[in-house]
């Protein structure tokens, strides 16, 4: 009994830390300035139609939820970090999109079985620590024949490599937590969903990013706005040598992917139907 209580408390503490991490910096501005094309791409791949009941899991400030609503969907945007919703509500209102915002843990969604026609996530659910639990919840709340769509950074792509670069400087992950970029591997996603889905397709695509004139400006932008990067720097704040080392490694990583004007960030786009 004590082990069960300890496990529940550990999970609660982990989710509290995750919520706080994504509230750091200014993720909504990053989503709007750097990756605005990803949400519409996912919505198009999911073939969201007028009248569809749509759930956006780990929606952030609505990068996919708002385009889904504009496509005619009745959209619920859920996220562990409701601090991101204020910007989402303003952007939805400005766009004339009706979106329902609800705090929710991707690993324990507060929705009924088979409630949604479309369940999607745009570089969101990949950051929930227990992948199988999240996949199980996505399948559970999707109706039979409903569409599932996921867009995730690949391990080999730029953002996946950024996380690999930061890993030695980050706190040790809790037991059972899995690396987010695993969702960017087709075989991993197929294993998570198993025979509960059909018509699964997975394509590797790239996002063309022209936001950053230099590798150093990319690094500094993410240090200021991106919660996971801010959290890693806070972890080593008392060690100037490690801070300088990470500064150099992130700039070097960007330089290797930088052609002088832009970078290409690889992601995996997955669509499937619930069996």
Q: Are strands 116-122 and 142-153 parallel, antiparallel or unpaired?
A: parallel
**Intra-chain end-to-end CA distance of the chain, in Å:** 37
Q: Considering the chain, what percentage of its residues have pLDDT values greater than 90?
A: 94
Tell me what pLDDT residue 2 has: 55
Tell me what pLDDT residue 3 has: 53
Contact 166, 105 (CB under 8 A): no
What pairs with residue 120 in β-bridges? 56, 149
Return mean pLDDT, the chain: 96
The crossing angle, in degrees rounded to 10, of helices 158-166 and 240-256 is: 160
CA 48 → CA 71, 114, 150, distances in Å? 6, 17, 13
Task: Please state the length of the chain.
Answer: 275
Structural domains of the chain, ranges and CATH numbers in brackets? 2-155+174-207+266-274 (3.40.50.150)
Indicate whether 11 pLDDT > 90.
Answer: no
Indicate whether 5 pLDDT > 60.
Answer: no
Indicate whether 201 pLDDT > 80.
Answer: yes
What pairs with residue 269 in β-bridges? 151, 203
Helices (H), the chain: 2-23, 27-33, 38-46, 65-70, 85-95, 131-141, 158-166, 186-193, 215-225, 227-235, 240-256
Instruction: Name the residue with higher pLDDT: 229 or 1.
Output: 229
Tell me what pLDDT residue 157 has: 98
């Amino acid at each position: 009994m004590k082990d069960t209580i300890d496990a529940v408390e550990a999970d609660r503490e982990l989710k509290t830390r995750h919520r706080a991490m994504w509230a750091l910096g200014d993720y909504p501005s990053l989503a709007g300035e750097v990756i605005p094309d990803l949400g519409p791409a996912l919505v198009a791949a999911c073939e969201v139609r007028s009248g569809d009941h749509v759930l956006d899991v780990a929606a952030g400030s609505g990068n996919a939820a708002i385009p889904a609503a504009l496509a005619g969907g009745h959209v619920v945007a859920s996220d562990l970090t409701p601090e991101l919703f204020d910007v989402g509500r303003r952007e939805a209102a400005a766009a004339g999109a009706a979106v329902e915002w609800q705090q929710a843990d991707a690993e324990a969604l507060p929705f009924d079985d088979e409630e949604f026609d479309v369940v999607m996530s745009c570089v969101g659910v990949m950051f929930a620590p227990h992948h199988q639990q999240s996949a199980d919840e996505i399948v559970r709340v999707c109706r039979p024949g409903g569409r599932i769509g996921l867009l995730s950074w690949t391990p080999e792509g730029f953002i996946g490599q950024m996380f690999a670069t930061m890993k030695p400087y980050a706190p040790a992950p809790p037991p059972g937590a899995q690396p987010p970029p695993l969702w960017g591997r087709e075989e991993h996603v197929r294993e998570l969903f198993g025979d509960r889905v059909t018509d699964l397709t997975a394509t590797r695509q790239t996002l063309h990013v022209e936001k950053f004139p230099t590798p150093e400006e990319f690094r500094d932008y993410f240090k200021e706005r991106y919660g996971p990067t801010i959290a890693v720097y806070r972890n080593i704040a008392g060690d100037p040598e490690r801070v300088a080392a990470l500064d150099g490694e992130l700039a070097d990583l960007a330089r290797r992917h930088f052609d002088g004007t832009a970078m290409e960030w690889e992601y995996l786009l997955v669509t499937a139907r619930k069996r």
